[in-house]
């Protein structure tokens, strides 16, 4: 007598497929950075750059979204997800604004890197994170927590760049100092750099509020969150 074992149907919900795609892309580029990143030329290697911080935070956020989607977590990670979306937007905005103003200010010899890496790090990857945060996860509900995450991550990066990266690196060389990860920073006096950092923190908070308004409108228009 043959006993037929009932197999559960594979769940191919669009949101699950989307989140797997986001997760695998982030994981792949994180692994690529760890294996192929230049760790020999400068202290800190690729982690000197805010873009790489955003990449690894995106990977962690994507892993949490997968855990929620597969029912392995009841924690929404709202503050973290909101922060990652804003940080990614800041990376894209700052990078291309500075690049189009002066390519040498953020790149080596004014030349863009490998095309698919540039496309993902400064375009597609951040966009995928923002889409999930606003339209699927519908984040930006705990603004105080999100602001705390933003201030903590940006503050940690500034301290890392100013106190450690600059101290242990001789390049890039600027008119004022040397060693700071982005060439243009080495042409600014410390008070000017503090103003630059402060203005970007303010911009990040404004972006957070804009995304919060958009996410609120999405929740109002489409009743019931896609994820718990």
Q: Are 135 and 67 in contact (CB under 8 A)?
A: no
How many Å apart are CA 53 and CA 57, to the nearest integer? Answer: 6
Instruction: Report which DSSP code applies to 4.
Output: P
Q: What does the DSSP assignment read for 126-173? A: HHHHHHIIIIIS---S-HHHHHHHHHHHHHHHHHIIIIIIHHH---SB
- What is the phi/psi pair of residue 178, to 5°? -150, 160
pLDDT in tens, 109-160: 667 788 899 999 999 999 999 999 999 999 999 999 999 999 999 999 999 9
Q: Over 50: is that where the pLDDT of 2 sits?
A: no
pLDDT in tens, 56-82: 999 999 999 999 888 888 888 999 999
Q: Are 91 and 56 in contact (CB under 8 A)?
A: no
* pTM of the predicted model as reported, rounded to 2 decimal places: 0.89
Q: Extract the tokens encoding 5.
A: 């074992």
């Amino acid at each position: 007598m043959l006993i037929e074992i009932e197999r559960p149907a594979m769940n191919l919900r669009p949101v699950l497929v989307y989140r797997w795609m986001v997760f695998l892309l982030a994981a792949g580029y994180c692994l690529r950075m760890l294996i192929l990143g230049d760790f020999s030329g400068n202290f800190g290697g690729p982690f000197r750059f805010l873009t790489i911080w955003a990449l690894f935070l995106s990977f962690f956020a994507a892993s949490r979204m997968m855990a929620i989607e597969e029912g392995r977590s009841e924690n929404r990670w709202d503050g973290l997800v909101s922060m990652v979306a804003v940080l990614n937007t800041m990376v894209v905005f700052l990078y291309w604004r500075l690049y189009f103003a002066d390519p040498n200010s953020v790149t080596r010899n004014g030349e863009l890197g490998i095309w698919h890496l540039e496309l993902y790090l400064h375009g597609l990857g951040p966009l995928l994170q923002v889409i999930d945060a606003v339209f699927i996860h519908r984040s930006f509900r705990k603004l105080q927590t999100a602001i705390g995450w933003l201030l903590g991550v940006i503050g940690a990066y500034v301290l890392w760049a100013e106190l450690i990266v600059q101290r242990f690196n001789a390049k890039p060389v600027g008119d004022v100092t040397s060693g700071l990860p982005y060439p243009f920073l080495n042409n600014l006096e410390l008070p000017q750099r503090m103003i630059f950092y402060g203005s970007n923190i303010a911009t990040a908070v404004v972006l957070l509020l804009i995304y919060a308004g958009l996410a609120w409108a999405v929740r109002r228009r489409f009743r019931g969150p896609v994820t718990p």
